[in-house]
Structure 1
Amino acid sequence: MADVTILEWSRFSNVYRHGLPITLGEGDEGYVQLMRDNQTNQLVAVKTWHKEPHTDVSMMNDVFNYELAAMKKFNGVKYFPKLIGIVPNADSAVSFSLVQEFIGDIRSKRTLSLLDAINDNELMYQEIVSAALDVSEALAEMHRNGWVHCDVKTDNVILKTDSVLQETDVGSDNGWWINEPPTNSSASFHAKLIDFGGARPISEAKLPKKLPKKMKKYMYEMCPQIAPEVVEGLGKVPYSFESDVYSFGRLLKDISELSGLVELDQLANRCLAKSPKKRPNIDSVVDELKKLQ
């Protein structure tokens, strides 16, 4: 735990909506709560790993250690959430919860994923391209430093506003002013790539696995962002820079299908090439997205 700030629970308090603590998200491995840092009066996101009788504690510790290592590695880079520290937690499978910046609207106390923003028709053309560029820049930063994310998808991209408004300010019902910000606001939006539970240094990328046919079918149907060589267990290390590009291509495909942006669809198809060798590298993807701005 070197170079990580260990915090005390007394520093944090729950944030409530309708009398219940606010949960920002929950998955098979854990959940993220919205809390207030009483020392700074800032909202933070606290991630805790489930502790159940069937929990594989060893695997959860691996997930936690890699996620913490990735957040330390890229802390301060604008395309990723800021790491604040860790806090001991007896209710967590890994003995700690991870504290990071809250990415969302401070008044409504809600997050907005890229998927939800596009589904709700919240983003204009330029903002969609800008968000895609931010994610590509995030991946480029990881790849330059020898890391792979392994789970790039629209749900793992959260929009952050640079609005100067405070929690006490009055505004729209949901707090998002993407197209028409108030005259006293300097709101602009940036995309941040989250969830490093699957991230690895490329030298420690997961080894190939021969999955049963039923599991392969499930992966193709339910996890379309996972590259085919990963599902099939091909190559020496199926998780690679190329598999990240494939996942990014799936993200672009989702965006283009929802928004109708043909330019993104063409780039998505190249990223989704079945052969890893035929996919563009992430730096060339960044360059192409910059040309669309």
Structure 2
Amino acid sequence: MDPLSVIQNIISAAQYIKSICDQVKANKQQCQRLSNRIEIILSPVKTFAQNPASIRPENLAALNDLVICLGDCRTVVHDFYSANWAKRAFQNQTDNETFRKLNDRLSASAQQLSLSLDITRVFDREADKKDIEEDLADIESKLNDIIDMHQQTSQQIDNLAQSVDQMRVQILAQLSTKKEEVKQMDTGFKIDVQIINSSSLLIDRMLGKGGIAQVYVARWDSEMVAVKKLNVPQMSQKDLKDFYNEANIMYRTRHPNVVLLQGIVQEPDNYMLVMELMDKGTLLDLLRSTEDLTWSKRFNFAIDIASGMAYLHKNKIIHCDLKSLNILLDRHETCKIGDFGLAKIRLNSTASLASVKIEPVHTVSGIRWKAPELLQPNGKFTKESDVYSFGVILWELSERKIPYAEAATDGEVTKLVIDDKVALEASCPPKFQDMIRNCTDRVPKFRPSFANICGTLDALVRDEPLHPLPVALTGAAALPPLPVAKPVVPMEDNPANRRIKNQKFKEFWINYWGPNTVSVDWADFFDCLSDYLIRGGLREFNEEEIKQQFGIIHGKVSMNSFNTRTQELSSLKELALQKK
């Protein structure tokens, strides 16, 4: 290394040592003394930089030794500047031997460089002893402070450990008491549902969670199901009562548009509702998505919900919390009504809003679907209040927005609804708008029943085709609209009439799909038959014949019937090709 570079390294090391000396945590006097001596040596060294030619080989060797020495000085001083100084000070006390060796090396370097310095005065041993004594006293004081702090911390940890132990004992006692209460509460509720053993459920993943429950996807007897699991430690007697109430209501309802309850788990540490899995999530999520929704699909959603609610009301069940978040969709996008946690069985009285705690969910409070009369003191849940909620859902189907989005809080929503400041106007077909107005009429008695709503929707779909017919699978243009089947009196059930009805359906099939259709499957047949029944065929087939058409035997879809229907599809395809 050339002389100038060596000198620059010496200057850099000296400057760094000086910059941190005032901030060292221990041995401050000895570090400061060392820095001062380096500064004294540095002054004559800088003269070499002004006249590099005067540097002799022995001077260069001495300068290199000084670079190494200053590097070691820098390391020692930095150790007492860093955070782990206490460990070094405790292990090595004042490092007086280290400082003595560094001072000796500095003194030797000064002598080798033949610097005009008074070495004895600069490296005064008595001054070193005084520095050691002061540093020892300082370290002893700091170590005593550390020991005191450690003792205080240990005492605090001991106190905290005692508090944690006491809290643990209290929690265990409370948990034990809670379990006993739950066991005692079990005997107070009658339940008439299938009991499922929790060991038969294989939990897959969590779908969501609320205040006292989580919802999971699970496998049960080779079937994927949804499991609503309650948090037992957080359950009150009312929570358990609501659990059994929801189970009883769901289990007694058997309808294509109501979520099916398979059974419940009823164990000391496990309370679960086991339900059919709704793959497509909630109607709320679908409406907030960017997925394209035809008016045909929206009408189908409305028919699904109205059909399910008509069934519930016929069985004297008031839902009390009907909203798009509680409408679930299966893999075929059939809407089903779920979440009966607030539902009431209507006997001779109605439930009061004041007695039911309505919790905000999904960041959109359920109050946006509540009828105006429920927002008044002592408001009563009725069939008509369910109809109002349905009207709000119809508005959502049209607009795909949050109801009363301009209101930021529940209080603002309540004021808007009670004061009748905002009407739920929608940009939709006129008859659909009429239905929204009728369902959300401020006077409950003027709202239609769900039975009437189903009839109105059926007439709308039957008399006014809402979407173009399917395009042939070959990619041909859409066929012209089908003639609407006229209502007829049900035919007498005999072999001749059955042949006539089957032939009429086959002709409808050919017109529906067109002669260019290459292949069809079970879902195509299902769609076509459903459309045929809605457009008038429903009045030709009796209930038993409709079940047979869909392959339903004793309430279940028969695989033999499915295979038979598949063969019929092949025949229909051949018939279509012949007609071509």
Q: Is the 8 A contact 2:288 2:400 kept in 1?
A: yes
Report the structure, 1 or 2, having the larger helix content.
2
For 2:443, the equivalent position in structure 1 comes to 275
Quote how far apart the aligned CAs of 1:234 are.
4.4
**Alpha-carbon distance change, 250 to 52 in structure 1, aligned in 2, over 3 angstroms:** farther
For 1:8, the equivalent position in structure 2 comes to 197
The one-letter code matched in structure 1 to 2:395 is K
Q: Following the alignment from structure 2 to structure 1, what is the Cα–Cα distance between the partners of residues 397 and 391?
A: 10
Does 2:320 align with 1:145?
Answer: no
Quote how far apart the aligned CAs of 1:114 are.
1.5
Q: Following the alignment from structure 1 to structure 2, what is the Cα–Cα distance between the partners of residues 156 and 201?
A: 18
Quote how far apart the aligned CAs of 1:140 are.
0.5
For 1:171, the equivalent position in structure 2 comes to none
Report the structure, 1 or 2, having the larger strand content.
1
Q: Following the alignment from structure 2 to structure 1, what is the Cα–Cα distance between the partners of residues 256 and 226?
A: 17
The one-letter code matched in structure 2 to 1:189 is E
Q: Is the 8 A contact 2:306 2:450 kept in 1?
A: yes
For 2:352, the equivalent position in structure 1 comes to 207
Q: Following the alignment from structure 1 to structure 2, what is the Cα–Cα distance between the partners of residues 127 and 65?
A: 35
CA offsets 1:57-93 (integer angstroms, 9 cap, x no match): 121122112111111210x3111122211113544xx
For 1:23, the equivalent position in structure 2 comes to 206
Q: Following the alignment from structure 1 to structure 2, what is the Cα–Cα distance between the partners of residues 251 and 71?
A: 22
Q: Out of 46, 63, 69, which is 2:248 matched to?
A: 69
For 1:117, the equivalent position in structure 2 comes to 286
Q: Following the alignment from structure 1 to structure 2, what is the Cα–Cα distance between the partners of residues 292 and 241?
A: 23
CA offsets 1:170-219 (integer angstroms, 9 cap, x no match): xxxxxxxxxxxxxxxxxx431100001111111253235399xxx9xxxx
**Alpha-carbon distance change, 69 to 2 in structure 1, aligned in 2, over 3 angstroms:** closer
Correspondence 1:167-206 to 2 at 5 A = 188-203=332-347, 205-206=350-351
Q: Is the 8 A contact 1:210 1:233 kept in 2?
A: no
**Alpha-carbon distance change, 154 to 233 in structure 1, aligned in 2, over 3 angstroms:** same
Q: Following the alignment from structure 1 to structure 2, what is the Cα–Cα distance between the partners of residues 126 and 79?
A: 18
Q: Choose 143-152 or 252-261, whichever is displaced more.
A: 252-261
**Alpha-carbon distance change, 208 to 82 in structure 1, aligned in 2, over 3 angstroms:** closer
For 2:118, the equivalent position in structure 1 comes to none
Quote how far apart the aligned CAs of 1:27 are.
2.6
Does 2:271 align with 1:96?
Answer: yes
Correspondence 1:147-166 to 2 at 5 A = 147-161=317-331
Quote how far apart the aligned CAs of 1:143 are.
0.8
Identity of aligned residues (%): 28
The one-letter code matched in structure 1 to 2:341 is G
Q: Following the alignment from structure 1 to structure 2, what is the Cα–Cα distance between the partners of residues 222 and 159?
A: 19
| TM-score using structure 2 length | 0.39
Q: Following the alignment from structure 2 to structure 1, what is the Cα–Cα distance between the partners of residues 368 and 274?
A: 30
For 2:239, the equivalent position in structure 1 comes to 60
Q: Is the 8 A contact 1:67 1:197 kept in 2?
A: yes
For 1:36, the equivalent position in structure 2 comes to 219
Which ranges in structure 2 are unaligned for 5 or more consecutive residues?
Answer: 1-189, 402-426, 462-580
Q: Choose 130-139 or 116-125, whichever is displaced more.
A: 116-125
The one-letter code matched in structure 2 to 1:8 is N
**Alpha-carbon distance change, 63 to 267 in structure 1, aligned in 2, over 3 angstroms:** same
The one-letter code matched in structure 2 to 1:268 is I
Q: Following the alignment from structure 1 to structure 2, what is the Cα–Cα distance between the partners of residues 153 and 67?
A: 17
Quote how far apart the aligned CAs of 1:285 are.
1.3
Q: Is the 8 A contact 1:246 1:272 kept in 2?
A: yes
| TM-score using structure 1 length | 0.74
Q: Following the alignment from structure 2 to structure 1, what is the Cα–Cα distance between the partners of residues 255 and 299?
A: 20
Q: Choose 191-200 or 115-124, whichever is displaced more.
A: 115-124
Q: Following the alignment from structure 1 to structure 2, what is the Cα–Cα distance between the partners of residues 11 and 209?
A: 40
Q: Is the 8 A contact 1:32 1:46 kept in 2?
A: yes
Q: Following the alignment from structure 1 to structure 2, what is the Cα–Cα distance between the partners of residues 157 and 222?
A: 13
Quote how far apart the aligned CAs of 1:287 are.
1.5
Structure number with greater CO (CA < 8 Å, separation at least 6) is 1
The one-letter code matched in structure 1 to 2:350 is A
User: Greater CA radius of gyration, 1 or 2?
Assistant: 2
Cα-Cα RMSD: 2.5
CA offsets 1:89-126 (integer angstroms, 9 cap, x no match): 544xxx5211111111xxxxxx3221222332243211
CA offsets 1:2-25 (integer angstroms, 9 cap, x no match): 53221112111121xxxxxx2223
Q: Is the 8 A contact 1:24 1:32 kept in 2?
A: yes
Q: Following the alignment from structure 1 to structure 2, what is the Cα–Cα distance between the partners of residues 124 and 49?
A: 38
Quote how far apart the aligned CAs of 1:257 are.
1.4
Quote how far apart the aligned CAs of 1:49 are.
2.3
